[in-house]
């Protein structure tokens, strides 16, 4: 079994306007474990595994540490920790008392590796790190390891900027969070802009302004860039925003209410309305947050619910007495593991690269709770408490999280059932032996051969598998040849796949098979033939291929399908399979266009606006002087471009087309 699944190097272009975090991976599979883990293995196989374990047990140290169990191919099956490695390893060599899951793991174990640690706490931290690194099939595994976003009041500038931040805290300023999703951050920032009129523009845009932008007109910025507000008054607004985000929301709202009443008493109703709107914006933030604790400054709440062999863990984030949102996780876990067992392993992985609050509340008791507390405290540098509350406000928060976990899992299981029906219909439509577990879709994007990019997206029982998307910067000499681009992409992809995961050795029991069960190409018969030839040159002749050609006048619903050995055909206009394939094709096109634009933007940043026909140094300076930044030029409407001094209608059209016409 392939525990690593490192067959590609994903390069994903994020979509800020559609980033949702919590729902982006689609429905989970109905069966999360490799096929057959419920069955008892053959006694001979178990005996062979026990002999291998006994050989390595002689080398195991007596102290604490981490052990890895690997199969005959050297792939990691399981990572575990132990206070005494020798005792733990010898426990696997017992002849009975193992569950079918553990017995199957023993049966395929061929070797073991050991890492000694100074303490059991160090072993726990190392175990979580190695599980995330190797993704062993017999461990509980946290699938989604994306970092959480924060709100940053950026320092080092006379007029601090409010912005969303994800990743290392390398920028100066004050960080508030974490938030459960980018959507929650964006909504909060929008409300904070209305409440405190803070700027969200970049420093170059700020420096280049000669008049207030649209955000000032719609009362979402106080325009310190053009002196509409003094820097001293602007920084007072920054202090109020910092106090609100630090948990002093009641104090800030009371001050605004007093100011509104004073302005009203002076019959300065315009000023009173200004304060009223700010109070309303703050109330909107609190309304979006839903439940807010009264007795806790910071805590993370974890609630676990299981149904249908699937585990859902709902996480709520509370900081500075405010609810920064919730998010559902679906860790890979065998159906025989209960919530306490799943939570214990999940928490160590969850906090492996994330800051931990001082209080962690759980819905179920976990083993080694004291050890986890000690490990989290050591990493955080302050005391961390892990508790299962029984009553009071803390228990109410856990119950609220449990309700959300049940509802989220119910929705996911319904989506998984629908996805399974679609995959079954796809298999029937294209003559596949069984519903595909991995679908790869290919597309290209370029503008008259400039900056060509080929892409591959992946879908399966879980929906879109975005961490396995891949893009290919085209290297061929003739970059305007669509057929040549497709040939290069297919050859590069499958040549590498043959080297890293030979098809004969690829197990059909793995959760995420490296080889696709179906390849879909955005194109017609020509692209299909090129793909077949490229695969045939590599000795691949039995891989199911389908090409989807755009309908007449590019109308959705009138696509023509091409398959080897079959006449071109169409599906009924309302066939669910047609909608499904269109969605796959559209996602590939979105990723292709986004990757192409990102590459073009990077090259444009380094080469300058002079790359656009008709734009030289003088016109480049005029554009940047007028719009402030390259991003603003890219977003400008055609009419706005025509108002720039020195830019005529033809040049404005060339600039607009450069940024908006897709290949």
Tokens 């030979």 correspond to 502
Residue 47, both tokens:
């005996």
| Per-domain boundaries in the chain | 35-134, 150-289, 299-411, 439-598, 608-660
CA–chain centroid gap for 57, Å, is: 40
Bridge partners (DSSP) of residue 459 are 439, 464
Q: Is the distance from CB of 426 to CB of 432 less than 8 angstroms?
A: yes
Do 299-411 and 439-598 fold alike per CATH?
yes
**Does a cis peptide bond (omega within 30 degrees of 0) precede residue 621?**
no
299-411 CATH fold: Nucleotidyltransferase; domain 5 (3.30.420)
Helices 43-57 and 100-107, packing angle to 10 deg: 70
Beta strand 359-362 with 299-307: parallel, antiparallel or unpaired?
parallel
CA atoms of 603 and 658, how far apart (whole Å): 13
- If we measure between CA atoms, which residue out of 489, 488, 486, 483 comes closest to residue 471? 489
- If we measure between CA atoms, which residue out of 2, 257, 298, 307 comes closest to residue 135? 2
What pLDDT shows up at residue 635? Answer: 77
What pLDDT shows up at residue 649? Answer: 87
Bridge partners (DSSP) of residue 79 are 68
Q: Which CATH superfamily is domain 35-134 in?
A: GIY-YIG endonuclease (3.40.1440.10)
CA atoms of 101 and 545, how far apart (whole Å): 36
3-state secondary structure of 327: strand
CA atoms of 244 and 240, how far apart (whole Å): 6
What pLDDT shows up at residue 479? Answer: 55
Residue 390, both tokens:
């029984």
What pLDDT shows up at residue 563? Answer: 93
**In Å, what is the CA distance from 138 to each residue of 95, 105, 304, 565?**
20, 7, 20, 41
Bridge partners (DSSP) of residue 548 are 522, 561
CA atoms of 122 and 81, how far apart (whole Å): 10
Q: Is the distance from CB of 437 to CB of 517 less than 8 angstroms?
A: yes
Q: With a cut of 50, which residues of the chain have pLDDT below it?
A: 1-37, 507-510, 606, 662-663
Q: What is the pLDDT of residues 607-634, one digit of tens each?
A: 556 667 778 778 877 887 777 777 778 7
Long-range contacts of range 173-177, CB-CB < 8 Å, 24 or more positions apart?
174/242, 174/245, 175/150, 175/151, 176/150, 176/151, 176/152, 176/245, 176/246, 176/319, 176/320, 177/148, 177/149, 177/150, 177/151, 177/317, 177/319, 177/324
Backbone phi, psi, residue 635, to 5°: -90, -10
What pLDDT shows up at residue 600? Answer: 64
608-660 CATH fold: DNA polymerase; domain 1 (1.10.150)
CA–chain centroid gap for 568, Å, is: 37
What pLDDT shows up at residue 114? Answer: 93
| Pure H helices in 266-303 | 269-289
- If we measure between CA atoms, which residue out of 581, 583, 592 comes closest to residue 436? 581
End-to-end Cα spacing for the chain: 40
pTM of the entire structure?
0.68
Give me the CATH code for the 439-598 domain, please.
Answer: 3.30.420.340
Residue 383: half-sphere exposure toward Cβ, Cα within 13 Å: 3
CA–chain centroid gap for 619, Å, is: 40
- If we measure between CA atoms, which residue out of 39, 22, 27, 24 comes closest to residue 334? 39
What pLDDT shows up at residue 37? Answer: 47
Bridge partners (DSSP) of residue 441 are 457, 520
Residue 328: half-sphere exposure toward Cβ, Cα within 13 Å: 24
Backbone phi, psi, residue 144, to 5°: -95, 110
């Amino acid at each position: 079994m392939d525990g690593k699944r490192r067959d590609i190097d994903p390069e994903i272009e994020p979509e800020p306007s559609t980033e949702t975090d919590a729902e982006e991976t689609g429905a989970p599979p109905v069966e999360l474990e490799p096929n057959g883990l419920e069955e008892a293995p053959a006694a001979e196989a178990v005996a062979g595994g026990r002999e291998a374990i006994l050989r390595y047990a002689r080398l195991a140290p007596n102290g604490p540490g981490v052990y890895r169990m690997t199969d005959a191919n050297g792939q990691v099956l399981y990572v575990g920790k132990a206070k005494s490695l020798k005792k733990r390893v010898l426990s696997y060599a017992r002849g009975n008392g193992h569950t079918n899951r553990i017995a199957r793991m023993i049966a395929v174990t061929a070797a073991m590796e050991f890492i000694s640690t100074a303490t059991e706490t160090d072993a726990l931290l190392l175990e979580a790190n190695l599980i995330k690194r190797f993704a062993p099939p017999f461990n509980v595994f946290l699938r989604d390891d994306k970092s959480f976003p924060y709100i940053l009041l950026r320092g080092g500038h006379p007029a601090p900027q409010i912005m969303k931040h994800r990743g290392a805290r390398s920028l100066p300023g004050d960080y508030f969070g974490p938030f459960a999703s980018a959507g929650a951050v964006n909504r909060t920032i929008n409300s904070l802009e209305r409440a405190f009129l803070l700027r969200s523009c970049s420093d170059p845009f700020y420096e280049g302004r000669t008049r207030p932008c649209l955000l000032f007109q719609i009362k979402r910025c106080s325009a310190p860039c053009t002196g509409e507000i003094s820097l001293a008054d602007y920084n007072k607004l920054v202090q109020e925003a910092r106090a609100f985000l630090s948990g002093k929301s009641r104090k800030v709202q009371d001050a605004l209410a007093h100011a509104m009443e004073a302005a009203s008493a002076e019959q300065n109703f315009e000023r009173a309305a200004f304060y009223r709107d700010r109070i309303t914006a703050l109330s909107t933030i609190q309304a979006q947050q839903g439940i807010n604790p009264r007795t806790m400054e910071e805590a993370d709440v974890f609630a676990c619910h299981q149904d249908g062999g699937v585990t859902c863990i709902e996480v709520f984030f509370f900081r500075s007495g405010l609810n920064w949102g919730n998010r559902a996780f679906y860790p890979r876990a065998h159906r025989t593991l209960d919530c306490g067992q799943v939570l214990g392993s999940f928490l160590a992985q969850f906090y492996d690269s994330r800051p931990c609050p001082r209080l962690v509340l759980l819905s179920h008791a976990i083993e080694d709770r004291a050890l986890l507390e000690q490990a989290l405290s050591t990493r955080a540098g302050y005391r961390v408490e892990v508790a299962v509350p029984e009553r009071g406000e803390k228990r109410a928060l856990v119950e609220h999280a449990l309700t959300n976990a049940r509802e989220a899992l119910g929705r996911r299981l319904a989506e998984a059932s629908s996805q399974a029906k679609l995959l079954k219909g796809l298999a029937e439509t294209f003559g596949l032996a069984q519903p595909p577990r991995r679908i790869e879709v290919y597309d290209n994007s370029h503008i008259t051969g400039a900056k060509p990019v080929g892409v591959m997206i992946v879908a399966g029982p879980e929906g879109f598998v975005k961490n396995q998307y891949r893009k290919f910067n085209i290297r061929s000499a003739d970059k305007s040849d669509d057929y040549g681009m497709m040939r290069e992409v297919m050859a590069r992809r499958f040549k590498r796949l043959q080297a890293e995961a030979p098809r004969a050795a690829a197990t059909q029991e793995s959760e995420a098979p490296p080889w696709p069960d179906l390849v879909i190409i955005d194109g017609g018969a020509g692209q299909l033939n090129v793909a077949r030839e490229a695969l045939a040159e590599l000795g691949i002749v039995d891989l199911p291929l389908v090409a989807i050609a755009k309908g007449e006048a590019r109308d959705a619903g009138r696509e023509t399908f091409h398959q080897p050995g079959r006449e071109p055909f169409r599906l009924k206009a309302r066939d669910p399979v047609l909608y499904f394939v269109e969605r796959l094709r559209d996602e590939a096109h979105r990723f292709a266009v986004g990757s192409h634009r990102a590459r073009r933007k990077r090259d444009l940043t380094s080469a300058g606006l002079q790359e656009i026909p008709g734009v030289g140094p003088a016109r480049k300076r005029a554009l940047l002087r007028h719009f402030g930044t390259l991003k603003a030029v890219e977003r400008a409407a055609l009419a706005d471009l025509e108002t720039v001094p020195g830019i005529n209608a033809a040049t404005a059209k060339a600039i607009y087309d450069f940024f908006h016409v897709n290949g």
